[in-house]
Amino acid sequence: MKYARIVAIFAKESGLSLEDALAFFYDSDTYNLISEGVADMHCRSDEYLADELMLEYKEQVCSQ
């Protein structure tokens, strides 16, 4: 599954556990864009989407 691959890459890059990475993913704007088919996000590579998720994660961590 595409979501599982994205979450696995994101977990590895962020150092989060798979559970925490999955929770962040499902609450993210990136997930919403993918699931709604906005800008054909679901067609992007797993690595690209994990990078987008990482950017979103860094923004959220820095704003706290």
Query: DSSP characters for 8-51?
Result: HHHHHHHT--HHHHHHHHHTSHHHHHHHHTGGGGGGS-HHHHHH
Band of residue 46 on the pLDDT scale cut at 50, 70, 90: very high
| Lookup: tokens for 62 | 């820095």
Residues contacting 34, CB < 8 A, separation 6+: 3, 41, 42, 49
pTM over 0.85: yes
Residue % of the chain over a pLDDT of 90: 73
Tell me the pLDDT tens digit for each residue of 28-45: 999 999 988 887 888 899
Residue % of the chain over a pLDDT of 70: 100
| Lookup: tokens for 48 | 């690209």
Q: Are 10 and 50 in contact (CB under 8 A)?
A: yes
Tell me what the mean pLDDT of segment 2-31 comes to: 96
